[in-house]
Amino acid sequence: MFDLSSYLMFLAACTALILVPGPAQALVMARTIADGRRAGALTAVGLNIGTLFHTLAAALGLSAILATSALAFSVVKYIGAAYLIYLGIRALKSSPPVKETSAPNEASTVSALGQAIATGILNPKVALFFLAFLPQFVDPARGHVLLQFLLLGASMAVLDTLYELVLVSVIYRARDHYLSNRTLAIWQTRLPGAVLVALGIRLAAQQR
C-alpha cells in the first residue's frame, strides 16, 4: 500500500516533530508529577486518541471545513480554549495535598484520560495541521485512501505515545524527590492547572 521510502520519510518527519518540546509533553509531565505514572500514561494515550480523531477528520474532509470557514474555526477554538481554562482553574483551586498522602489521586487519574482526549480533539490548529501534513504521504494510485490516512495517523499516534510514555517513566522516577520538598509538593496539584490554563490561552490566541 505504501512506498517504503515514502513511509520511512513519514516516520522520520513524525519523529522530528514529536521530539520538539511542546504543550502536549508539558501536560503529560505535569500530570505525572501531580497524579502519578498511570495518570501520565493515560494523558499520553488520551492526547493521541485526539490524534486519531484528527486523522479521521482529515481523511473524511471535515478538517477542510475548519480550513475554509472562519466561523467554524473560531467556534471550535473558543469552545476548546474555554474548556481548557475551566479545567485549569478548577485544578488551581483544588486543595493542596496532605504531606503524608502523596499517593496518586484515583479520581484525578481517571479524569486524566477524558481531559486529555478533549484537549487533543478541541484544537482546530491540529486539525489543519493534519489536513496539510498527511496528504503529502497518501498516494491515491495505491488505492484505499481512507486506510492510508488511518495507518499514517495511527503510526504517528503510536510513535508519540511511546515517546511520551518514556517521558512519564523518567519524570515518575524523580517524583518522590520532587514531592519531598513541601513547597514544591503544594504545587503538585497546581502544575496541571497552570499548564491547562496556559494551553487554553494559547489556543484562544491562535490564528488560522
For residue range 154-194, list pLDDT tens digits in order. Answer: 999 999 999 999 999 988 887 766 655 555 555 555 666 77
> Which residue type sits at 105?
N
Over residues 27-64, the pLDDT tens digits come to 898 888 878 889 999 999 999 999 999 998 888 876 67
Does residue 99 surpass a pLDDT of 50?
no
Does residue 103 surpass a pLDDT of 70?
no
The grid coordinates of residue 20 equal: 520538539
* Over residues 148-153, mean pLDDT: 90
Q: Which of 176, 197, 198, 203 is nearest to 32 (CA)?
A: 176
Residue with the three cell numbers 511511546: 162
Average of per-residue pLDDT values in the chain: 79
More confident of the two residues 154 and 69: 154
The kind and range of the H/E element at 100 are none
CB 48 within 8 A of CB 160: yes
- List C-alpha distances in Å: 93 to 32, 69, 125: 19, 36, 29
User: Can you give the residue ranges of every domain in the chain?
Assistant: 24-205
* Ramachandran class of 204: left when φ > 0, alpha when ψ lies in -120 to 50, beta otherwise: alpha
Q: What is the DSSP string of 42-103?
A: HHHHHHHHHHHHHHHHHHHTHHHHHHH-HHHHHHHHHHHHHHHHHHHHHHHTSPPPPTT--S
Distance of alpha carbon 139 from alpha carbon 149, whole angstroms: 10
Work out the pLDDT band at 196, boundaries 50, 70, 90: confident
Q: What is the pLDDT of residue 183?
A: 57
Q: What is the pLDDT of residue 208?
A: 58
Q: What is the DSSP letter of 96?
A: P
Worst-scoring range by mean pLDDT, 4-8, 65-69, 115-119, 178-182? 178-182
Does residue 100 surpass a pLDDT of 50?
no
Sequence-ordered list of residues with C-beta below 8 angstroms from that of 100, at least 6 positions apart, any chain: none
Sequence-ordered list of residues with C-beta below 8 angstroms from that of 45, at least 6 positions apart, any chain: 113, 116, 161
